[in-house]
Amino acid sequence: MLDGLQRTAGYFLQPMRLLRSYHRADLGADVVAGLTVAVVLIPQAIAYALIAELPAQTGLYTAILAAIVGALWGSSRHLHTGPTNAASLLVLSILLPIAAVGSPSYVAAAGLMAVMVGIFRLLMGLFGLGMLVNFVSDSVIVGFTAGAGVLIAAGQLRNLLGLAIPSNPELVATLQAVAVNLPQTHLPTLALGLATLALILLVRRVRPRWPSPLLAMIAAGAAVAVLGLDQQGVSVIGQIPRSLPPFHLPPLLDIELIGQLSTGALAVSVIGLIEAMSIARSIASQTGQRLNSNQEFVGQGLANIACGLFSGFTCSGSFTRSAVNFEAGARSGVASVFSGLFVLVATLLLAPLAAYVPRTALAAVLLITAYNMVDRREMARIWRGARGDSMIMVVTILATLLLPLQFAVLIGVLMSLAYYIWRTSLPRVYSVVPDENFRHMTRQEDPATGKVRPACPQLGIVEIVGDLYFGATHNVEETLLAHQKRHPGQHYLMLRMQSVTQIDISGIHMLESTVKAYRERGGDVYIMRVQDTVLDFMRSTGFYDLLGADHFLKEDDALSHMFYRVLDPTVCIYECEVRVFKECQNLPKQHLPPELTVHTAVPTRPVPTVKPEALWAQLHAANPPLVYDVREPREYQRAHIPEAQSLPLLQILSNAVELPRDRPVVLACRTGRRSLRAAAVLQQRGHNNVAILDGGMVAWEAAGLLEAVAVTPVWSDGRGGPSLGE
């Protein structure tokens, strides 16, 4: 608890850390950057207040307070906080159904909304919820920004044309009102607006680095003052008070108003934080700065609370001003503090001149801003990418244009979460086989060409890419069961789980069900390349013991272990036509006659077994048993029991030999599986004197018993088969 309190207090001490670590050498660069941003900020602040249908001074107050507080309590050196087009449009959309534009209650509701947004963001930062913004895709931001640009452009048509129609956040209603009232267009207003628009475009082409919006607004204001256009019906901003941002306590105890604003305030909180963090991260990727998202949330929250208490409205991070701040050479958040102070000085000294700024000039500025908000290149990239992202973008655009903005934002956020859940609930599960060089695993079915590589008829190797949590386990289990049905001969399954980073109890239950399904068919499941965190969970839940420690294989020897210790060599030698693994390449291959099959060689009753030490003792006793090695001649020649004779399984299956019935017979192979099949065949022919070496030659070698090596073959029947008389 003490650590939590210290961490919380640390968020509020950010200004002390900023100023304590500040270098005097950075002062000049920060002052220049602050002045540069202030030149851009002044016209934007007035224009964005116009979008929200708030007094012009409200935008200036917001610009002053948000820039200073956001920089002091934020974590980014370059993120600039203040009024933004998206936030202003959201404020308008949320407040219009609640209060009349221009009324004191409208302004008071804007202040209360800023405080609520600030509290939401502050709490998210204090409780360490900064990672939540990661769950909202960029498609939502791009779609919402594009839709907001269209709404801003449509909303400013009335100011550009000089039409006396009320503001309306609904696109269709706005366009209908403009179309109906189009004959009442005020031509001087339209001419001045188009001239302002042309001047901005001209300055941008000729002098791109000049503050074209500010210059165009000054020129338009001068034209109004000189020609007296305000007396001819051209609407102007009006007088702006020359004062510090005044303290104004919003109706914090109006429960009904708080309820009406709550949904919208939450939506604005989310979209603003996403916007701010996206901007901060994009710039930090170029500077290498490490950001603290929770500290940034605290800074954004305190900035909104300050704006709400001092006659401002909701604010957020601005991409345009942050980019200007970065390009102007800002070295710390102090540059944003200077930008706020410069706007304050301009407000105190130049406020009377704003009385001549025409609304149509601001509309021209906002039309260009709205046009730039539609990021056509990024929209094209998203459209060419994943279908889910493009669908989210399109739905967010349509929701922004046709629904109340707060719901449009929430729809986009919910779609992002739903898309994330959908993708994580469908981990990629596919069969893999060794590549041509036996160095890496590759997909059995090439997704590009559709070509299917041959797989082992006994062993299925399946790669799982994704987390095994409750939302994904059903799909993974269904895929594994479908794989089992498609390959009924694959009694063994190897799961590659290096891409599984998380697992819960539902994932454990799914794995247990899979193991049960394979073991009931006489097979088994093996796992390789398990993450440590996943393996620890498997141990704590008992799955590790259920599967068995020897079933967790290392990648280097996993296939060798399966080939030599698990797979049935009878199938490998006599039935398998492919050589999937590296170990298969030197395997002797034999073809059974069509009428024979190793699958019929299954014991009908228990087959006696002999331990290696016991067999050694019997071979050195008075009446030793006959020992036959049922492996292929090449395997026999490498190493065998000294007293054993070579008798390949093929000879037994084809009934080409007859073994003595008056002496005990012991069959041997590598691990005991071929011996068991041979014993089953001999049982069916009435041989009741047959036993097998328990564990085969592997157990014989492990016991350290003597082995023999055949220099020349012992076969003389012309077919590679045994001559029992020798």
Question: In angstroms, rounded to a whole number, what is the distance separating the alpha carbons of residues 47 and 153?
Answer: 12
Local structure of residue 570 (DSSP, 8 states):
H
Question: In angstroms, rounded to a whole number, what is the distance separating the alpha carbons of residues 435 and 347?
Answer: 71
Length of the chain: 726
Residues 6 or more apart whose Cβ sits within 8 Å of residue 167: 53, 92, 96, 101, 155, 158
Residue 91 CA: distances (Å) to CA of 49, 54, 144: 10, 10, 15
For the chain, how big is the Rg over CA atoms in Å? 40
Question: In angstroms, rounded to a whole number, what is the distance separating the alpha carbons of residues 307 and 315?
Answer: 8
Residues 6 or more apart whose Cβ sits within 8 Å of residue 682: 652, 659, 665, 690
Q: Find, among 159, 225, 166, the residue nearest to 186 by Cα.
A: 159
Question: In angstroms, rounded to a whole number, what is the distance separating the alpha carbons of residues 263 and 259?
Answer: 8
Crossing angle (nearest 10°) for helices 2-12 and 104-126? 130
**CB-CB contact of 291 with 75 (8 Å):** yes
Question: In angstroms, rounded to a whole number, what is the distance separating the alpha carbons of residues 634 and 630?
Answer: 11
Question: In angstroms, rounded to a whole number, what is the distance separating the alpha carbons of residues 272 and 274?
Answer: 5
Residue 669: active-site member: yes
Question: In angstroms, rounded to a whole number, what is the distance separating the alpha carbons of residues 303 and 313?
Answer: 10
Question: In angstroms, rounded to a whole number, what is the distance separating the alpha carbons of residues 558 and 551?
Answer: 10
Question: In angstroms, rounded to a whole number, what is the distance separating the alpha carbons of residues 669 and 608?
Answer: 15
Q: Give the strands of the sheet with 690-693, arranged side by side.
A: 609-610, 690-693, 665-668, 626-629, 645-646
Residues 6 or more apart whose Cβ sits within 8 Å of residue 655: 685
In sequence order, the β-bridge partners of residue 609 are 692
Question: In angstroms, rounded to a whole number, what is the distance separating the alpha carbons of residues 109 and 517?
Answer: 63
**CB-CB contact of 676 with 695 (8 Å):** no
**CB-CB contact of 112 with 308 (8 Å):** yes
Q: Which of 315, 572, 576, 669 is catalytic?
A: 669
* Helix and strand element counts for the chain (H, E): 30, 13
**CB-CB contact of 409 with 144 (8 Å):** yes
Active-site amino acid positions: 669
